[in-house]
Structures are given as C-alpha cells and as structure tokens.
Amino acid sequence: MDATSSSADKLASKTASSNSLDSSSKSSSLGSKHGTENGQQRDTPFSYLDGEEDQDQKNDVTYVCPYRGPAFGALTITNYRLYFRSLPLRDQEPPVVVDVPLGVIARVEKIGGATSRGENSYGIEIFCKDMRNLRFAHKQQNHSRRTVFEKLQANAFPLSYSGKLFAFAHAAAAAQPSTANAAVNAGWDGWAVYEPLAELRRLGVPNDMWRVTKINEFYAICDSYPAVWAVPKAASDDFLRRVAQFRSRCRLPVLSWMNPRTQATITRCSQPLVGVSGKRNADDETYLSYIMEANAQSDKLTIMDARPSANAIANKAKGGGYESEDAYKNVEINFLDIHNIHVMRESLRKVKEACYPTTDDSKWQTAIDSTLWLKHIRCVLAGAVRIVDKVETMSTSVVVHCSDGWDRTAQLTALSMLLLDPHYRTVRGFEVLIEKEWLSFGHKFQQRIGHGDNKHSDADRSPVFLQFIDSVWQVSQQFSNAFEFNEHFLITIVDHLYSCRFGTFLCNTEAERVAEDLKHKTTSLWTHINSSLDQYLNPLFPSFTHGAELVLRPIASVRAVRLWKGLYCRWNPGLCTPQHGCQRTRELLSKQDLLFKHVNELRLKLNNRSNNMQTTTRLASPMH
C-alpha cells in the first residue's frame, strides 16, 4: 500500500462502510480497491471511509493475541483506524484481523527498551475504551515502533495535538456524491430526527398549564441547557431568571415528559444551593409549587434525588444540598442511592479486569459480583421504576436531580420515559430520547468519554451513558417484544459513542455543538443507522401487545439483572455469545408468514371446491 497515493486518487476509490465496528475477519473488504499505481488499481485490506487517509504502514509487526498467540502480519494506520491483518502460515487458515477506530483508544504505551531480549517484548500496548487491550511487537533494528507510536498519538488524540476529530474530515469528503448524501436526500437526515417543538406538541405542550419559552435561545441563562424549554405557565421569564440563580449551574427545573392523560410530569434540574446554613429561596419554593399545581390529579410533589443521602448532605459543605421538606410545602424527597461518576469508573475498570483477557471459571461469578457493576445497574433501574410508579400509578409529578443534573439525572429521566412511553421504544423515538435527555440537556460527552484527548487519567471520565444503554438492554431482556430495535442497535450506539466518526456525541452541550456547527460540518449517527434500518430491527416487535403492557415495569432485583456478555465479553472467545439470535428469529418468522400464506391459499381452494360441489348438487337435484 502506497502511503503517498494522491488524495484525489484515494477519494475516487473510497466506499462508505455500513459496518459498526466489526473487528472480525468477516468484516474486512478484501476485494476493495484503493489508490492507483501506474494506472492500475491495487488490493487493499478494508473499505476506506470518506475522508480516510493512510498515515503509516508496517509489514513486519506481530500482534500478540492473548487467545491465539502471536500473529505476524501488516499493520496499517489511517486517520480513522488501526488495522492489522496476519499472514496465514497454512492454506485455508483464516487470518487474524484487528480493526479498531482510533477514537476507541484510551492510551498508548511503549513496552520494552533497547535491552529487551524476550520474544515479542519490544513494542506497543494499546488500552481501549471498549474493554480490550492490544499489544503489537516490533523489531528493534528497524525502528518501526517510533513512527507507529507517533502516528497513533497524533491521530487517536488529535485535540491534544491541535488537530480535529475524524468526523469533520469524514463529512467534508462526503460532500462529494456518496452513500451519506444519498441517505440525507432520501429523508434520513439524522440531524432532523429531533425537533424540540414537535416533540413538545406530541406531549401536548403548550396547554393550559404549561408553556414554551425561548428565554435561553442564546444560552445566556444556562449554557448547559437547550435553547427551548417547557415550563409552568404561571412562571414568567423574569421569574425563571431568578429561580435559575438558586440552582447549581443555573439548571432550574424544566419539563422532560408529561402524561397526556393525567398531566403528571417529570421535570429535571440540579441541586438547590442551600449550603450548610440551609438557605431558602422564595422563588424556588414557589416555582416547585407551580409544577405541583400544574397537575390537578395530585396535591403532592415528589423529588427523586439520585444520590445517596450521605452524599447529598456532604454537598451542603460545597454550597449545594437538597430540598428541605419543611421549606418546600407538600413535597416529599426520596434518595435513590446511585453513586457518583468516580465510583462507576472504578466499577467498570473491574469489569474489564474480570472479562479480558483471561477469566477463571471457578471465580467468575465472584469476580463479577465484586465489581458491583450489576448492583449499580440495579440501582438505576430501581430508581426509574420508582419514578414510573409515582407518575403512572399515583399520578404524582416528579422532579429529578442529582448534583449538577447532567449524569444520574439523565439516566433516570431517560429510562423512566422509556418505560412510560412506547414511542421511545421505537428506533426513531429512542434517537429522540437520546437527543433530548442526553445531548440537549448537557451530558458532558466530551469530558466523560475523552474524545480525541490523551488525558486518560482525567477524573471527569465516566461510563454514565454506557450504564444507561446497559439498563435499556436489561429491560429489553425482560420485555423482548416491546422494543422495535435489537441488541445490535444498542451496541452500534456504544461503538460510535467512542469512534468519533459521527458528530452526534461530540462536545459537551448544545451550545458548543451550535458554535461548532456540527449539523453542517459532521454527519449524524442517526443518518447512518436510519439508512440501513433492517439490521437494527427486532423481528419480535410486531407481536407486542399493547394495553396492560403499555407501561413497562421491569424487575429491578439482583436475580433479574445480568452481565451483558454480548457487549463486555465480545472480545473474549471463551465468554462471547453468538449474535445470530435476531437473524434466526427473523428467518423463522419469515417461514411462519409463508406457512400462513399457504394455509390461506388451501382454505381458499377448499372453499371454492365446496362451493362448486354445492352448485353441482343443486343442478343434479330432481327438484330443479
């Protein structure tokens, strides 16, 4: 592969990949062509994306696979991926293929030095965000490690080297005729999936008790909130400005969801700034009463504080805290015992240790239990179920917050809305849910994931959104026919959470995305998904019966919550589970349709034959 091929030549031969992040040999496109040499096209090992350019290639690298042992082959680095393909030692032996988007890389380290003598002891180790580590051995004499290390650093962490994320180059190249443009032209523009006013109208807002305000249109009131809010009609814009001053980061309560039948609502916010002295704010107290009074079905308001009570009390020392039931009339407060981002980060680290690269069968369950990951997932599920019970069963409005209202709060509001509203259990509805509760309300994706920066020890990194997707998967396992989408859909979202191929999860806030003009300078993940929906659909969904199960109430117990092996264990061949369930189900349902069709045809023939016999009998009768 000639790394110096012209950009024009490369662009002409690129094809957009429809795969998520498939790293198995079957995902490689061996027949694809890339670049030219003396007018002749050459074979390349994979399909290049729009905007993808070669950065380096080494033909004498050994991938130290923890399962199959060392594999000698060629390593290619582009501005989007690291790709390794082994040279099979025997005929018919499948090659070892590693295909990793550079956005998945958390850190790169050199192993061994000039004095290293052991086999494969000199090279590079790559630590990934998707539960795997990769080790490549280099030969010391040709100094190949140095350029590979430098290219990985520059392209995996472009923001630390004054560069730009791949999503921008990908979209710029796709300005040429491509599958991405074809998708947009066909009406699959992912940036148009969520329109705030349309979603509010679907919920019945505005109405007699709630109104829409664009007070934050230029993000001056709260820079981490969206431009459009739904608020109680009794609250004027000037009043909202005063209320915002008493909430952490100015994140005052605004509407997330409304039950169109009972008018019970879910609103979200951050903690009140009560501090150690227990400060009160008449405007904030009045505002919560407006939220309560907007629901005629109840004279109570429930506050769901996501934190353990001890953490909420400790926040008073930092100027935060929680609502006092003495100060806020007709309000009850519940603490949901969901721990902070640092606890969750450590828990996921332990899951990785348990799943990759090796496991001890005799201690497997103990190892997973000791991570506390499933306990944390259970707490998120249990909190959402409590919100659902208050809103649906008790017809009581609920206010949800944690400390700043952009991590645990998003988990709880989004998950409870998913349980309450079947619209969010469709593909488009789920995309709207993520756009609304996670992206527009300022979950700090840039900081939590660390897109394009090399600060792998940053204390702001945490798998908060991953926990939400895991929780959705847990619910889908209990209600297998309630979701239009399948497991592959959820895994694709997680994969591209890290990949930096699309603009959807870039930046921390809506204000930053507007300033970066992501809608015009990057492609949406939803464009990619919605242009090839078939592979993401659940074949059991059409059989879902509504009525009693319109609202889902999953079992949030240790017995029901289990490790998502299809995600966390997929790189470990001893633990990964086959991913062919949906395909097999789709095949069986197709056969069922054919059988039903055949039965109907036989019934029609039988009816016709019966009618013909009756006619013949009447004609032969002596009475005629």
State the residue for tokens 């079957």. 26
- How far apart CA 207 and CA 229 sit, in angstroms, is 14
Q: Which residues partner with 212 through β-bridges?
A: 230
Contacts of 73 (CB under 8 A, 6+ apart): 59, 61, 62, 63, 84, 85, 86, 87, 95, 96
**Where exactly are the structural domains of the chain?**
54-163, 194-582
Q: Which residues partner with 518 through β-bridges?
A: none
pLDDT at 9: 40
Say whether 23 counts as a known binding-site residue. no
For the chain, the first-to-last Cα distance in angstroms comes to: 90
Helices and strands, number each (H, E), in the chain? 21, 16
Say whether 22 counts as a known binding-site residue. no
- How far apart CA 490 and CA 15 sit, in angstroms, is 24
- How far apart CA 412 and CA 335 sit, in angstroms, is 12
Say whether 340 counts as a known binding-site residue. yes
Say whether 405 counts as a known binding-site residue. yes
Helix 464-478 to helix 408-420 angle (10° resolution) is 20
Interval 272-325: pLDDT, tens:
999 999 999 999 999 999 999 999 999 999 999 999 999 999 999 999 999 999
pLDDT at 154: 97
Q: Which residues partner with 54 through β-bridges?
A: 78
Rounded to a whole number of angstroms, the CA Rg of the chain reads 28
CB 27 within 8 A of CB 495: no
Say whether 404 counts as a known binding-site residue. yes
Say whether 406 counts as a known binding-site residue. yes
pLDDT at 585: 66
- How far apart CA 196 and CA 288 sit, in angstroms, is 23
Say whether 259 counts as a known binding-site residue. no
State the residue for tokens 């069922």. 592
Say whether 470 counts as a known binding-site residue. no
The low-confidence residues of the chain, meaning pLDDT below 50, are 1-20, 22-42, 178, 547-548, 624
- DSSP state at residue 522: S
CB 469 within 8 A of CB 493: yes
Say whether 129 counts as a known binding-site residue. no
Say whether 113 counts as a known binding-site residue. no
Q: Which residues partner with 254 through β-bridges?
A: 268
Say whether 283 counts as a known binding-site residue. no
- The tally of CA atoms less than 13 A away on the side-chain side of residue 407 is 25
- Catalytic residues, by residue number, are 402
CB 255 within 8 A of CB 230: yes
Domain range 54-163, CATH class? mainly beta
Say whether 532 counts as a known binding-site residue. no
Say whether 341 counts as a known binding-site residue. yes
pLDDT at 540: 87
pLDDT at 22: 43
pLDDT at 230: 98
Phi, psi dihedrals of residue 448, rounded to the nearest 5° = -70, -35
pLDDT at 19: 45
- The tally of CA atoms less than 13 A away on the side-chain side of residue 78 is 28
Contacts of 238 (CB under 8 A, 6+ apart): none
pLDDT at 597: 85
pLDDT at 498: 98
